[in-house]
Amino acid sequence: MVGKQKITGPAFFIGKEGDGLISFGSGQPDLPPPKEIFKGLENPRLFKYGLIQGDKKLREALAGEYPKAKAGNFVITNGASEALDLAMRVLAKMPGQNKILLCRPYYYSYPPIVEFAGLQPIYTQLKNGLIDLDDFKKKIKKVKAVLINSPSNPTGRVETMETLKAIERITKKLGVWVISDEVYKDLIYGRENYLIKGRHVITINSFSKTYAMCGLRVGYLYSPDREFVQKITDMKVHTSMNTNSMGQAMALSAMRAPRSYVKNQVAIWEKRRDLIYGGLIKLGFDLWKPEGAFYVLPKIKNTESALGELYYKYKVIVYNGAWFGAPGRIRLSYALDEKKIEEGLRRIKKFLKGKESWLK
């Protein structure tokens, strides 16, 4: 590996591969998308501008997944990332508070997205990776919106149904918006998910994770409030225009793939979860057992040195927990095949030799 540039953040690693690297970095599924997505792409219509709100057929298909929803309640976006960005910027223009409540640890883009919109993030610290309702109740009174992400990146934890229902109730009563980032809603082991509902709830989702299509950049925003949807569309016309038409056609075909596609993926993720969790426990790490998504967040001292040595000496990419508001931890994505996970664990074991105190 040439040179030793400083590792500044996730952008340093995103897209890096080959050269014997084992990447536990970016959360991008290595599994193939549904084979159906490659059908019907010869349509010349796909090379023209499309509806800013998104392809009507795709929105109609999505409406079938949400009770009482209509195509008009959706905007198709360039990944969940654009949906989050537009939601924050539209909220920023509405009257009232300018604070947004985030749960810490958080997905690393949340604080910048809030700040880019001219809003101010405030935080509730997760306890054992889960929302502490006492602290939540204190802070929720001071904000315009709260961002919920369950299953969570980076904790891998899933909020209990009671907590999610309590959040739904409390925010409705106070008139606080909920932005529910559900990009991992299908990747949950052990129980059914609960999705927060209501007129005050803005749901964000994506085809990146469930359908392994992250490079195509297709996500969406759903709100029962048509006025809010209109504001999002009015803003999107001045930023990215329509979302990539070919990606939308592929997303629609993905939704028509047999449901067994998703079920099979989840079974694979669960096996990998057991492999990495068991392996890291065996190496002496302290971590939560993930219940959803595909991340682990073990504790380790000297995280910056660990990142540098793992990358430059052992060709292993891990992310710094500090990027997610979790200093003293590293985040590993297990979106890679079992052989690579095993090899990565072997390299981490070598790296840890003589550094056992880093895990205490």
Ligand X SMILES: Cc1ncc(COP(=O)(O)O)c(C=O)c1O
Which part of the chain contacts ligand X (CB under 6 A), choosing from 76-84, 157-165, 227-235, 305-313? Answer: 76-84
What is d(CA 240, CA 343) in angstroms, rounded to the nearest whole number? 41
Interacting span for ligand X (CB under 6 A) from 75-83, 221-229, 236-244, 258-266:
75-83
Q: Binding mask 88-127 vs ligand X (x if CB under 6 A, - otherwise)? A: -------------------x--------------------
- Binding of ligand X at residue 73 (CB under 6 A)? no
Does 80 participate in binding ligand X (rule CB under 6 A)? Answer: yes
Q: Which amino acid appears at position 285 of this protein? A: F
Overall residue count recorded for the chain in this entry? 360
Pair of tokens at residue 278? 């068991």
**Least CB distance from residue 42 to ligand X, whole Å?**
26
Sole window of 77-85, 133-141, 155-163, 298-306 interacting with ligand X (rule: CB under 6 A):
77-85
Residue type, 281: I
| Range in contact with ligand X (rule: CB under 6 A) among 73-81, 114-122, 158-166, 188-196 | 73-81
Longest CA–CA span in the chain (Å) reads: 61
Question: Which segment (78-86, 239-247, 278-286, 348-356) binds ligand X by CB under 6 A?
Answer: 78-86
Instruction: Scan residues 217-256 and list those touching ligand X (CB under 6 A).
Output: 219
Which residues in 308-347 contact ligand X (CB under 6 A)?
none
CB count in 10 Å sphere of residue 294: 25
Name residues contacting ligand X, limited to 124-153 (CB under 6 A).
149, 153
Find the radius of gyration of the CA atoms of the chain: 20
Tell me: does residue 206 bind ligand X (CB under 6 A).
Answer: yes
Give the nearest distance from C-beta 3 to ligand X in angstroms. Answer: 28
Please report how close the Cβ of residue 64 comes to ligand X at its closest, in angstroms.
Answer: 20
Cis peptide bond N-terminal to 327, omega within 30: no
Residue 323 tokens read as 């990027």
Binding flags for ligand X, 25-64, as an x/- string (CB under 6 A)? --x-------------------------------------
Q: Which residue's Cβ lies closest to ligand X?
A: 79
Footprint on this chain of ligand X (rule: CB under 6 A):
27, 79-81, 107, 149, 153, 181, 183, 206, 208, 214, 219
